[in-house]
């Protein structure tokens, strides 16, 4: 019995010294591989085999952690979307005292979120057209942001700070879609895109002028 116990302890010690990667480590390795590959390839050109091999895993092991490569991209996008979503936090309270700052900070937060991982943002934009899962997640948040913007515009109109012009929802939709397209062009450095150090001020000017007219 003593000999068995001693042998068991020895094996346990060797096991601790050569600990296998945990599930969290493997997920992290897949995500890191995806972001690294996206720096040099389009999302459509990256395969599950590329992701598995880069993470040091087999293809079957990859599928234990992610259902598809789209799921990997969504896992990379979710923190950026959540960070961008904070741009509306407290905006309603800030509007009466400083509307210019409230809208500008919302735009800045959004751009900073996606600008911090521009290759992921670019991949997300590319995947919207070809991935129903990515498109569904993005559309859900865009609808939320548009609805929130429309509510803010209506709030400003109700208190007499902004003029009644086109329907608030139409204006909110156009402004948010403009942000999406203009920011994407800037992040991927398209020819003719607004420079990164001017994009927030440029979009904020358009938002304020469109919402408040000559009063801003």
State mean pLDDT over 169-178.
Answer: 97
Q: What is the number of other CB atoms lying within 10 angstroms of the CB of residue 11?
A: 10
What are the structure tokens assigned to 54, written together? 């880069």
> What CATH superfamily classification does 23-66 receive?
Homeodomain-like (1.10.10.60)
Q: Is the pLDDT of residue 55 over 50?
A: yes
70-212 CATH, one of 1.10.357.10, 1.20.1250.20, 1.10.1200.10, 1.50.10.100: 1.10.357.10
Read off the pLDDT of residues 57-100 as tens digits, 9 standing for 90 and up: 999 999 999 999 999 999 999 999 988 887 666 555 666 677 77
- pLDDT value for 16: 43
For residues 39 and 188, give the distance between their C-alpha atoms in angstroms, rounded to a whole number.
Answer: 11
Domain boundaries, the chain: 23-66, 70-212
pLDDT > 70: what percent of the chain? Answer: 83
What are the structure tokens assigned to 148, written together? 């929130």
């Amino acid at each position: 019995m003593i000999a068995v116990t001693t042998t068991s302890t020895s094996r346990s010690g060797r096991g601790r010294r050569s600990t296998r990667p945990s599930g969290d480590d493997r997920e992290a390795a897949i995500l890191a591989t995806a972001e690294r590959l996206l720096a040099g390839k389009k999302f459509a050109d990256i395969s599950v085999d590329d992701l598995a091999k880069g993470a040091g895993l087999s293809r079957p092991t990859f599928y234990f952690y992610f259902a598809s490569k789209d799921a990997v991209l969504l896992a990379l996008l979710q923190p950026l979307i959540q960070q961008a979503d904070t741009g509306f936090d407290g905006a309603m309270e800030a509007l009466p005292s400083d509307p210019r700052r409230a809208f500008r900070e919302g735009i800045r937060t959004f751009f900073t979120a996606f600008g911090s991982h521009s290759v992921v943002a670019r991949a997300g934009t590319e995947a919207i057209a070809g991935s129903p899962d990515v498109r569904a997640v993005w559309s859900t948040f865009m609808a939320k942001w548009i609805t929130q913007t429309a509510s803010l515009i209506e709030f400003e109109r109700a208190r007499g700070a902004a003029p009644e012009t086109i329907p608030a929802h139409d204006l909110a939709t156009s402004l948010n879609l403009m942000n999406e397209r203009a920011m994407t062009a800037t992040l991927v450095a398209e020819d003719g895109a607004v420079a990164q150090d001017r994009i927030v001020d440029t979009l904020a000017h358009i938002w304020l002028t469109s919402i408040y007219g000559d009063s801003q």
